[in-house]
Amino acid sequence: MKFSASWLNEYLEKTLKPQEMVDLLTMHAFEVESLEKFGDDFILDVKILPDRAHDCFSHMGIAKELAAISGIKFVPPKADFAEDGNLQAKDFISVKITAKDLCPRYSMRVATDIKMGQSPKWMQDRLSACGLRPISNIVDITNYIMLETGQPLHAFDVDKVGEKKIIVRRAKEGEKIVTLEGKKYDLSPENLVIADAKVAIGIAGIKGGEGPEIDQNTKVVAVESANFEPTNIRRTSKAFNLRTDASMRFENGFDPNLTEIALARAIFLMSEIAGGKVAAGLVDAYSVKAKPRKILLDVDWAQKLIGVQILPQEMIDILKRLEIPAKAIKKGKFIEAIAPTSRLDLRAQEDLAEELARIFGLDKIPAQTPSGIMIAATKEESLVYEDKIKDILAGAGWSEAQNYSFVSEEDAKAFEIAGQVKIKNPISQDQKYLQPTLIVNLLKNTNENLKYFDNVRLFEIGRSFMMTGEKPVESHKIAAVISNRNFKKSAEGFFELKGLVHILFEKLGISDVWFDDEISFDLAPWLKIFHPVKRALIKSGQKEIGWIGEIKEKILNQSGIKNEIVAFELDLPALVALASEERAYQAPSKYPAIMRDLAILVGDDVKIESVLNIIETMGGSLLFDTDIFDIFETGVKKSLAFRLIFQSDERNMTDKEVNEIMEKIIKAIEEEGWQIRK
């Protein structure tokens, strides 16, 4: 907000230079954004924070701060006008408040025999310096008082007010108003208006309306000085996109007792500048009067908080400089302060301590290392590993998806999973169910991305929901999908995603991961979303971690997806539990490994796990690892290609020794009726 340096000095017993004002304010918790020359004056642009907007959006407010900081006496402006005993304000205008919850106080004074014209040059210069356009002597005075005291005023031509009545009420449904600029607004009962006996003549606290506006023929003026509920002003201003100097002040709130102070100053200037006669009395509607607040300050506590041993008497002196009456009680251990109604920010002893530190001088408070008991933050394993998993999957070439936790009724039916959670009051038809698995929305993401990319790799970490009995159960999951227009074999996506699982487990330090395809749909109903053959449980030891498989064609067709999609979903808590377990280090063998490849032709209904069991049983302890690296289907038959790794921890193995083990494996396979491909 802009402040005139010469104007501020009017309220100070001793003149301060503009730069002195900047330095004083800056050192005492105010931010001065600029200092610029304006004619013969200087303009300070001061950033006023919301907690001080109620009293520092005015020249008097900033002048009081300068006086308190510097120790200079504050000199209030003149307001000693003479009332005409033959004229009574109540005979010219009456005030009634029907919306008392939105208007704590509404005050008016009346001046007659007004001589309209231009305001003095000094007033016009100050208004212009602060960004307001001079209009006429009466309107300029109301704006001048707003900048001076912080209290917005509005002047009415009394002869134009219907039945000489002012009613502060809520607007009627469908009521309209035209402002002084000629803009029309549709009102509702949520809006507070100033009305006469017939129509609304102003949007309360924001803008005056057409009708009783001041013009060159005005003789009798009624000046409004009111206090409105801040939240309602803010909402109305935002709804109408109408932010004014008055609304900016009203929406921050200020002292209801300021209405009378501002009126006195305004009427004084009108009698001086416009030659008016002041009608006796104040027309005032003030239901619940604001009173000063008593605050008890613990001296010892305040000294420890501030970090400086400010003596009790010095505290009292500082508070009095801030116009806060104070006295020591209980042998100086406490200070009883009376926060004036003009200081809405002072509610507790913490507020008083802040004021003491600010005026004492923040630069005088020595820097100290804080002391206290430091308690280490609890480590949330799931969050730590969630970030780590995201980094691993992103590093492997997968992109993260983020979806809502809702699915449509069509999606829920397509997945044919019993126990899905239905929402009682869904936002839309596309959000009637909570997702039973992250894969539902990942399929949609994949289908959309395949319109633009040949290869799609996505993952998501989120929540899924299922009914267990009568209650929904929430699960934390990790899911990933892969699809490619150019897969040469249907198994390519499966093995690529299987490789991602191995990478994830390896990076998390989890060993013994394997894929169990010896399962039935009855034992694992989740697997109904996968191809009858191309699916498996993901395990570590005998602990189930999740599942992997190719999404079955029926679900893809119902979702409008033409490309093959392979997916996995893992249980995050189970994964974190394994990753955070302590493990014994086992050194790798120092002896070289020997590798053999083995291709086996089996029936289409033969499980891969069945073949692996025979290979690992016959391979014995010297068979270090077995990996399947190719599957080729030929209708009723399928070819499985395995890579066998032989290694000993105690000695070098020979080709002869490995060949003998391979012969045992081949013999066992042939006894099952399967064929070894040469």
Residue 139 neighbours by CB under 8 Å, 6+ apart? 155, 214
CA neighbours closer than 13 Å in the CB half-sphere of residue 526: 24
Q: How far is 244 from 145, CA to CA, in rounded Å?
A: 15
* Residue 526 DSSP one-character state: G
Q: What SS3 string covers 48-117?
A: CCHHHHHHHCCHHHHHHHHHHHHCCCECCCCCCCCEEEEEEHHHHCEEEECCCCCCCEEEEEEEECCCCC
* One CATH from 1.10.8.60, 3.30.70.380, 3.40.50.720, 3.20.20.30 for 594-677: 3.30.70.380
Which residue type occupies 455? N
Residue whose structure tokens are 């399967």:
674
Q: Which of 395, 508, 403, 530 is nearest to 464 (CA)?
A: 403
Q: Read off the pLDDT of residues 165-206 as tens digits, 9 standing for 90 and up.
A: 999 999 999 999 999 889 999 999 999 999 999 999 999 999
> Could you report the per-residue pLDDT of 331-376, keeping only the tens digit for each?
989 999 999 999 999 999 999 999 999 999 888 888 877 777 877 7
CATH 3.50.40.10 residue ranges of the chain are 83-286
Helix (H) or strand (E) holding 661: helix 655-671
Delimit the CATH 3.30.930.10 region(s) of the chain. Answer: 381-579
DSSP label of 158: G
Residue ranges of alpha helices (H) inside 307-453 are 312-321, 349-360, 381-395, 409-415, 439-449
The span from the CA of 45 to the CA of 182, in Å, is: 32
CA–CA dist 523, 327 (Å, integer): 80
CA 166 remoteness from chain centre: 42
Beta-bridge partners for 540: 513, 543
Flag whether pLDDT at 107 surpasses 90.
yes
N- to C-terminal Cα separation, the chain: 89
Residue found under tokens 């008055």: 246
Element (H, E) at 475: strand 471-484
**334 token code pair:** 């406490």
571 bridge partner residues:
477
Q: Torsions phi, psi of 227, nearest 5?
A: -130, 125
Amino acid 255: pLDDT: 94
Is pLDDT of 559 > 90? no
* DSSP β-bridge partners for residue 535: 549
Query: Which amino acid is present at 10?
Result: E
Count of other CB atoms within 10 angstroms of residue 620: 11
Q: Where in the chain is the domain with CATH 3.30.70.380?
A: 594-677
* 112-169 pLDDT tens trace: 999 999 999 999 999 999 999 999 999 999 999 999 999 999 999 999 999 999 999 9
CA distances from 170 to 158, 209, 523, 615 (A): 22, 15, 66, 86
CATH top class, domain 83-286 = alpha beta
Give the whole-angstrom CA distance, residue 508 versus residue 392.
Answer: 9
Going by C-beta distance under 8 Å and a sequence separation of 6 or more, which residues neighbour residue 272? none
Task: Tell me the per-residue pLDDT of 393-439, one tens digit each, with 9 for 90 and over.
Answer: 999 999 999 999 898 888 877 777 777 888 888 888 778 889 888 99
Q: Which residue has the tokens 């002896």?
A: 591
pLDDT tens digit sequence for 612-631: 889 988 998 889 888 888 87
CATH architecture of the region 381-579: 2-Layer Sandwich (3.30)
* Residue 492: its H or E element: helix 492-507
Is the pTM higher than 0.85? The answer reads: no
Cα–Cα distance, 185 to 661 (Å, whole number): 92
Residue 335 DSSP SS3? strand
Q: Does 293-362 carry CATH code 3.30.56.10?
A: yes
**C-beta atoms surrounding 107 within 10 Å:** 25
* Range 638-643 average pLDDT: 88
CATH code 3.40.50.720 for 2-70:
no
